[in-house]
Amino acid sequence: MGDFNAIRPGTDLTRHARDLRRVHSAVLSGGRTRLRPRAVVARSWTRVLRAGLDPGGANARAALGPDEVERRRRESPLHTVIDELGHVIRDVALMVVTDADGVILWRDGAPPALRRAEGLGFREGATWTESIVGTNAIGTALVEAAPVQLFSAEHFEQAQHAWYCAAHPIHDPRTGELLGIVDVSGPALTLHPAIAALVETGVRLAESQLWRHHTARLERVRRSAEHIVGTATGPLLVVDDHGWVAHNAGVAARDRIAVPRAGAAVAVPGMGLCVPERLAEGWLVRPAGRSRAIRATLEAGGTPVLSVCGEGPPWRSPLTRRHAEILSLLHAAGPAGLTASRLSRALYGDDEHVVTVRAEVSRLRRSIGALVATNPYRLADGVQLEMAG
């Protein structure tokens, strides 16, 4: 995180803030100064200026309504760890947690800090991306896919110059998918070099807690199915409502299958087409026929659709064009598959979209499950894919 720290131990904060205001004024007005912004700040200012934002104005602060904020909170895995984050961070200054879209879902802090934040539109439901409010630690961390700390006039908007912000991405420990941003903000002249490390510690503890919640949930699902598993014959899986595997028998262990739905077939490598059966907690997944082969066709014309044929009912899953492109690339790569970096180059032309690639593959696997294997990304053993259209 060293490249993203805004200050070093011993920095004279008052003098540094004064220097940064001169840099901000000179650079954004097209003037000259011997001082230059840090690289992460310069990249962000360039992006924001191209977007046409006004550093002296109050850029848009429209916020989502309370019902939409509450829906996003319920659907975010972070709702299970928000208290743990608060225990580590809230006493330092103002803690803010966003989702992966940069929408603020939770705030916590002393009333004076909350009131000052309210004046900036720093409230639940507001979107703090670079394209909306300019260079800020939350929005810039989303773009950079890395921790970002900003001090005083490193912020694009002049109204934010009285603040420091230290933001750190938080990821799903199961998939690597970005869940949101954890940010600590406060008066600029109170910034301490240890704050960035404190935010990182909070994020790491929260990610560990997310993993513990996941394993505990799978254990509950496994225990609830013990009486059925003990008398069943043949290959089977017990999975939770999101397709994560709690128990396997007679088939190689899987981490995840497609999200099960009542009456809808699902394709599982090594088991063929299966029909999930609802349990008290989770699902029992068993082969619908004797064939274990999975023959799939990717229909790329119009709205892409993946069709799987075999014994039992057919299975069709509509795909986004991006997901169809990923499947096509994995098919062309063969058994060797593609690393996240190589897939990033194939999709975007560079290595800088690895986080986006991992999120897209995670969403794809939510739809089609273990047909796509990981480390590296490839079609699972036994999956025969044909391209059509």
Whichever domain contains 88, its CATH number is 3.30.450.40
Bond before 376 cis per omega within 30 degrees: yes
Instruction: State whether 374 and 242 are in the same domain.
Output: yes
Residue tagged 């009285």 (tokens): 162
Instruction: State whether 140 and 263 are in the same domain.
Output: no
pLDDT of residue 312: 57
Instruction: State whether 175 and 265 are in the same domain.
Output: no
Q: Flag whether pLDDT at 15 surpasses 50.
A: yes
Q: Which candidate, 171, 232, 229, 226, places its Cα nearest to that of 204?
A: 171
Residue at a domain's end among 166, 192, 214 = 214
pLDDT of residue 244: 94
pLDDT, average across residues 58-73: 90
pLDDT, average across residues 29-56: 90
Asked if 350 contacts 344 with a C-beta cutoff of 8 angstroms, the reply is yes
What DSSP element (H or E) covers 247? strand 245-249
Instruction: State whether 208 and 327 are in the same domain.
Output: no
Lowest mean pLDDT among 83-87, 113-117, 325-329, 339-343: 83-87
* 219 is a domain residue: no
Instruction: State whether 298 and 266 are in the same domain.
Output: yes
Instruction: State whether 240 and 183 are in the same domain.
Output: no
What are the residues whose beta carbons fall under 8 Å from the beta carbon of 115, sequence distance 6 or more? none
Distance between CA atoms of residues 240 and 222, nearest Å: 9
How do residues 224-269 score in pLDDT, each as one tens digit? 999 888 888 889 999 999 999 999 998 887 899 988 988 778 888 8
* 220 is a domain residue: no
Instruction: State whether 184 and 313 are in the same domain.
Output: no
Question: What Cα–Cα distance (Å) separates residue 8 from each residue in 2, 155, 168, 319?
Answer: 9, 18, 18, 48
Tokens of 112: 């004076």
pLDDT, average across residues 280-296: 84
Residue tagged 């032309």 (tokens): 349
Instruction: State whether 151 and 28 are in the same domain.
Output: yes
* 75 is a domain residue: yes
| Number of domains the chain contains | 2
Range of the structural domain that residue 16 is part of = 2-214
Asked if 240 contacts 252 with a C-beta cutoff of 8 angstroms, the reply is no
Indicate the pTM of the whole model: 0.82
Q: Which candidate, 60, 84, 62, places its Cα nearest to that of 206?
A: 84
Mean pLDDT, the chain, as a whole number? Answer: 90
Burial bucket for residue 123 (CB in 10 Å: 0-12, 13-18, 19+): middle
Instruction: State whether 236 and 364 are in the same domain.
Output: yes
Question: What Cα–Cα distance (Å) separates residue 248 from each residue in 173, 237, 238, 256, 354?
Answer: 21, 5, 6, 11, 31
